[in-house]
Every structure is written in C-alpha cells, then in structure tokens.
Amino acid sequence: MIGFLNERSLEEYGDWYASLALFLKAAQQLLEVGSLLFKDSRFFSRPDTIRRFNAIAFPREFPKDQRALVRQLVFGSQYYNCWVPGRLSIETENYACADPALNLLDESLSEAAERKLSHAGEVVSVLSAPGSAFHDKRLVTVSKLSSGQAVELRNASSVEAVTEWIVSERGYYDPDSQSAPRDFQTVLLKAHNRFRVTAKRDRGFSRRVFEEIATGRLYYVDEGHVGHSAHLEVFSATGEHLGKADINTGELDPGGRVNGRRLKL
C-alpha cells in the first residue's frame, strides 16, 4: 500500500492543526502495516509554508509531547519520504483532477496517478486535509492529459477512513501465523459500528481494549495465543472475566471463563 500526502488540500485550508494531526496519526497506523508513505518536501520547505506552519500550527496548538513528532512529519523523513528523487512522473507533464476540478503539474497527486498508471495492481491512496475540498471524496479521479488515461485514487481525510483502508488491504489473519492477530485483523476494527476503542490497555501485553457499544463489554486480543488458537478475551463492563471470543465474529464462548479473573489495566 502506497500513500501520498496531498499537499494541494492544504494550500487554501486554514486549520493546519487538524490536518497535521491527521497526517501524523495516519502515518503511525499505516507504517505499522508496512505501507510506503510519500510527500513533496519541496512544498514544506517553501518560505511561505514554513511561516504558516510556525504561525498557525506550531507551537501553540500541539501538546509539548507531540511537537517534535509533528516537526519530524513536516520537515523530516521518519513518517513520509520525499517522492521527488525516485519520481515516475515527468516534471512537465500535465494532469487534471476531476472533483475538485484542478490542473496539476509536478505535485503529489500527479506522482500518485503515475504510480497507479505504471503499476495497475498497486494500491495507491492519498491523504487529504479534513474540511478541504477533498474531505468528502472517497475516490479522487486524476487524468494524464497527454494520453487521456485516468485513474481512481482512494482518498482519506479522517482516521476512520484510514482504518478502513488497513482493514480492507491487511485484514486477513492467517490461521497458520506464528504471531497474534493485529486489531485490524479482527472484528474489533472491522465492525466499527459495533466496537469502539477505549483509552485502556491490558497490563500484560499492552493490547488496546475495545468496548462493545451495545453491552459495555470489554474485549482485547490475547497476545499469548496465535494461529488457530487466536482469540479475544472478554470482560464485563466492571472487569469480570466472561470468557473468550472468536476473532472474526466476536461470538462469546463462556466455556473459556476463568473464575475470579479480572481485567488488569
């Protein structure tokens, strides 16, 4: 999976705090599943961009513990690498975006489209600023004007949309795996209308704890069981152990209940 930071969505957009917070959270999730992430470092090195970053987004808005991460996102390569040195698009080639209607020249949307045209089987997506002209677009169509070729790029402007990407592309769990399932390989993230993530983590392996919205029950992946024995641990809202559950359906097996066991956070 390849993701491009869509700098065009930032140019006319005022709330850089929300945008950079999304780009940081998206990078942390996507890199965890082996995605390649790119940006146009030329955009972020422009004097007007630096002034805007310092005046609007930094340091007033971000908590102190996030400021170094955000600065790395914008000016470093820990999260997003610059695509320009290994570019596939030609600097003078014209492209166009259908909705919103834009002419594109030598920018990330152009490169993303060329990557997709050159590797049709590759999953190429773009990350756009929330609230921008791209925010409600699940797909962005970009055309290469010289050939008339057009591609559809998946677009995300929320953490929820990024999670959907990960689930759709990396959601299968191999029952012969020698490691425990990731959250996105289980019902906990696949059934986003049924479960929501909490701020809690289990004490043993620091796995995220999810709440079943309808019942208040608490679930997390048991890190100690892999492959065919992989399962979720289930607790009541007050922390009593209720049993284990299937990673794909969340169906509770009360036979796995351990008397006296409580959720340790």
Sort 27 into a burial class: Cβ within 10 Å, 0-12 / 13-18 / 19+: buried
Q: What is the CA radius of gyration of the chain?
A: 21
Instruction: Say what the pLDDT of residue 60 is.
Output: 61
Q: What is the pLDDT of residue 34?
A: 87
3-class DSSP state for residue 117? helix
- The whole-number pLDDT of residue 22 equals 93
- pLDDT tens, residue order, the chain (265 aa): 899 999 999 876 668 888 999 999 999 989 988 899 999 999 999 998 888 887 765 556 677 778 889 889 999 999 999 999 999 999 999 999 999 999 999 999 999 999 999 988 888 999 999 989 999 899 999 999 999 999 999 999 999 899 888 888 778 899 999 999 999 899 998 898 899 999 999 998 999 999 999 999 999 999 999 999 999 999 999 999 999 999 999 999 999 999 999 998 8
What is the reported pTM?
Answer: 0.78
Helix (H, G, I), strand (E, B) or coil at 57: helix
Amino acid code (one letter) for 218: L
Report the distance separating Cα 165 and Cα 147, nearest Å.
29
What is the CATH T-level fold of the domain 174-256, as seen in this structure? Answer: Ribonuclease domain of colicin e3 (Residues 456-551) (3.10.380)
Torsion of CA 99, 100, 101, 104, to 10 degrees: -100
Question: Where are the chain's structural domains?
Answer: 2-161, 174-256
What pLDDT, on a 0 to 100 scale, did the predictor assign at position 219? 97
Give the pLDDT of residue 48. Answer: 87
